Structure 1
Amino acid sequence: MPCFMHQRGVVSRLIAVAAVVFLCAPARSVSGQASRTDSAAVVAAVSGFHGALTEGDSVMATSYLANDVVVLESGVAQSRSDYLGHHLGADMKASKSATGKRTITQVTVVGTAAYLVATTFTPGNTANPRGSDMVELMVLSQSPSGWQIRAVHWSSRRRRA
């Protein structure tokens, strides 16, 4: 099967799973205590994943990823094994030397599903004088062991003049 056909299938499956989870899960009030607690736990899980990347701890980083996680980056959809085998090392190396300012802009919890949106502003340097902007979307689900990352989408661009 050509690579693009596999990617379309993975993306289609991701969209279908996300739609079912969010449409079937009962919404929780933003003002409710459970929602604040869940939001904090979602942020903690994503922050733990990023911290593990920065520390170069592949075992810890992997523990936050669901078995069926899909990672979307640079126009490619990667399964868990693809990501662990081909991209995790590069992400840990990049995280160690990252100089960007990451800001969480949205956390939404719907039942046992959640998503988090963050932006990262990286200042300019000699290789990229204008710097870059990155956006991140993480979809998580609640399991007996806590919140797990089910999908990651990273997108970045060089800042325009």
Structure 2
Amino acid sequence: MSALRCLLPMLLAASLIPAQVQAANNKTPPKKVVSKVAPKVVAKVVAPPPVVVAIPTPADVVEAFHEALRTRNRDAVVSLMSPDAWLFETGFVEASRDDYVKNHLSDDAEFARVTDYKPTRRSVITDGQTAWVLTQAVISGLFGDQDVDLEQTETMILRRTPTSWEIMHLHWSAHPRQTAAEQDALAVPPEARVEPSSAAPTAPAQSEAKPEDIKKP
């Protein structure tokens, strides 16, 4: 009987071992906690497109000069001219920009303000750092108490700068505009034109003197 008492705890312990093993196998392992961290957003720096600055053409500078005169914008006129610019105007000569500003700019600006300037023909010639702008224009209006109706020719020579062009020479010439009737009157018809002759000129014929025409002493 004593042997049975000793054996009984051993049997109970042996029967409990499989149950404990099964319970251990059925136990769900703890879930791992994964920390979700938002990814860093790296802002992509996009360089702005390069700014393209349009360089004025020689003709643009000439137009800007006339507009500055018309609006009496003295500073704009000065900025468009080279300090060593030469100006020829109706026989007058200014050998620098300062001379022109002092002597004729005010009168030219007032004339441009009250008259209408219309280019009729313009030609631009460029050669490297130099440009020639040749303009024919009609100017009409009333200046003071005088009617203005002129045909003007204008030559501007411009020099290239890093950002634009500057006027280094200006030559104005003008005359009263002819009417259509005056132009027709001055036109020589083709049939009236005398072509020079290539033949050598001949000496005029001399008449023979008759005896009765000879005076006696």
Do both proteins adopt the same fold according to a TM-score greater than 0.5, normalized to the shorter chain? Answer: yes
Look up the match of 1:42. Answer: 58
Larger helix proportion of the pair:
1
Look up the match of 2:132. Answer: 115
Q: Distance in 2 between matches of 1:132 and 1:78?
A: 23
Q: Tell me the alpha carbon deviations over residues 107-147 of structure 1, each in whole angstroms, 9 at most, x when there is no partner.
A: 01100100101111134878448x21100000001011310
Q: Distance in 2 between matches of 1:104 and 1:63?
A: 26
What is the CA distance between 1:104 and its match in structure 2?
A: 4.1
What is the CA distance between 1:42 and its match in structure 2?
A: 0.6
Task: Identify if the C-alpha distance between structure 1 residues 81 and 152 changes in structure 2 by more than 3 Å, giving closer, same or farther.
Answer: same
Q: Distance in 1 between matches of 2:86 and 2:168?
A: 6
Larger strand proportion of the pair:
1
Cα RMSD over matched residues? 2.2
Q: Distance in 2 between matches of 1:81 and 1:63?
A: 12
Aligned partner of 1:84 among 89, 96, 101: 101
Q: Distance in 2 between matches of 1:139 and 1:71?
A: 10
Q: Structure 1 vs Structure 2: percent identity of aligned residues?
A: 25
Pair 1:157-2:148 in alignment: no
Aligned partner of 1:54 among 70, 75, 85: 70
Q: Tell me the alpha carbon deviations over residues 8-54 of structure 1, each in whole angstroms, 9 at most, x when there is no partner.
A: xxxxxxxxxxxxxxxxxxxxxxxxxxxxx98x611111111111111
Q: Distance in 1 between matches of 2:98 and 2:121?
A: 27
Residue correspondences, number: 123
Structure 2: any 5+ residue segments left out of the alignment?
A: 1-53, 183-217
Q: Distance in 2 between matches of 1:59 and 1:108?
A: 27
Q: Distance in 2 between matches of 1:81 and 1:150?
A: 13
Q: Distance in 1 between matches of 2:141 and 2:177?
A: 9
Q: Distance in 1 between matches of 2:117 and 2:164?
A: 28
Q: Which has the larger radius of gyration?
A: 2
Structure 1: any 5+ residue segments left out of the alignment?
A: 1-36
Report the secondary structure of 1:56's partner residue.
coil
Q: Distance in 2 between matches of 1:105 and 1:47?
A: 11
Report the secondary structure of 1:100's partner residue.
strand
In the TM superposition, 1:1-161 aligns within 5 A as 41-79=57-95, 80-123=97-140, 127-128=146-147, 131-160=149-178, 161=182
Q: Which amino acid in 1 is paired with 2:78? A: T
Task: Identify if the C-alpha distance between structure 1 residues 119 and 92 changes in structure 2 by more than 3 Å, giving closer, same or farther.
Answer: same
Q: Which amino acid in 2 is paired with 1:144? A: P
Q: Which structure exhibits the higher relative contact order, with contacts defined as CA atoms closer than 8 Å and separated by 6 or more residues?
A: 1
Q: TM-score, normalised by structure 2?
A: 0.52
**1:124 and 1:132 in contact (8 A); partners too:** no
Task: Identify if the C-alpha distance between structure 1 residues 44 and 75 changes in structure 2 by more than 3 Å, giving closer, same or farther.
Answer: same
